[in-house]
Amino acid sequence: MRIPAVIRLIHPAPAVAVVALSAVLALVMAAQNGSIPTARILLVVLSVAGSQVATGALNDWADRGRDRAARPEKPIPAGEIPPAVALRVAAGGALLQLAASLPLGALPTLLGLAALCSAVAYDLGLSRTPVSVIPYLVSFGLLPLWIASGIGVPIDRVVPAVPLIAPFAAAAHLANTLRDWDADAAGGSRSLSQVLGRQRGLRAALVLALGTGLAAGVLALVAGRLGASTIVLGVIGLLAVAQGVRGAGALWYGILAAAVAWAGAWALSTG
């Protein structure tokens, strides 16, 4: 087993993006509230990182049969990592999440486990069905609540963000699955992007992601919270998404960049 193969197994790009936006949210909210112990911030970020390791490794384990035909370069079908080792990596990620969450209290632990269970449901079957978007809505909707409760900030501060997260999570799901559209079609997947079709799926992802960023900006403007930093981060996110017109891969990485930028913009505008 090689370390580069393990890194590929856990889907590093989305994992790093989710951990980064979680760290941004935690740091900004902690700075605005003051007296938040650094240890709590680190534990929250570690718990999110653990969930990403578990989700990515389990996804590759669950898809190993289809990947042998459609994605033979992936770590398991390429023979770089045995399936049993992938399961151990996933279990290790789940244990890291639990170990980091328990010292934070019951609420962040339960919210984190709920988000993980939703992701596991996606990995083990929902990813290949027309309702494949639901785990994205659940897991990403829970993420700000998980982070806020973990650092000790009242979750009512982040509840207004949940409705905005839903369309953005749907866009992220479409962009992610569109990258593997041909391979998934060959493997018999009936995910939402397969149902919509490649071009309609791409257009829907662009509209949902850009619409989310613009709606968040309008809400911040109406509330009188559209400061210079928020505007800069918001525009960066919009440009990152807009360049996704080039194709599914560009849109996917643009959405990851926008997620981090907009997480910071939202946190700053609500402080």
Question: Mind listing the domains of the chain with CATH numbers?
Answer: 3-269 (1.10.357.140)
Q: What's the CA gap between 46 and 97, in Å, rounded? A: 7
Instruction: Give the list of residues 6+ apart from residue 229 with CB closer than 8 angstroms, or none.
Output: 265, 268
Q: What's the CA gap between 12 and 8, in Å, rounded? A: 6
Q: So what's the pLDDT on residue 271?
A: 63
CA 18 from centre of chain: 5
Residue pair 115/139 in contact (Cβ under 8 Å)? The answer is yes
Local mean pLDDT, 10-residue blocks, the chain (271 residues): 85 91 88 86 97 96 84 88 95 98 97 97 92 94 94 87 89 90 79 91 95 91 86 95 93 92 82 63
Residue pair 110/133 in contact (Cβ under 8 Å)? The answer is no
| Whole-number Cα distances in Å, 15 to 21, 55, 76, 153, 222 | 10, 9, 19, 24, 33
Q: What's the CA gap between 225 and 177, in Å, rounded? A: 35
154 backbone φψ class: left, alpha, beta (φ>0; ψ -120 to 50):
beta
Q: So what's the pLDDT on residue 100?
A: 97
Residue type at position 252:
W
Q: So what's the pLDDT on residue 163?
A: 86
Q: So what's the pLDDT on residue 151?
A: 94
Torsion of CA 154, 166, 163, 233, to 10 degrees: 70
Q: So what's the pLDDT on residue 65?
A: 84
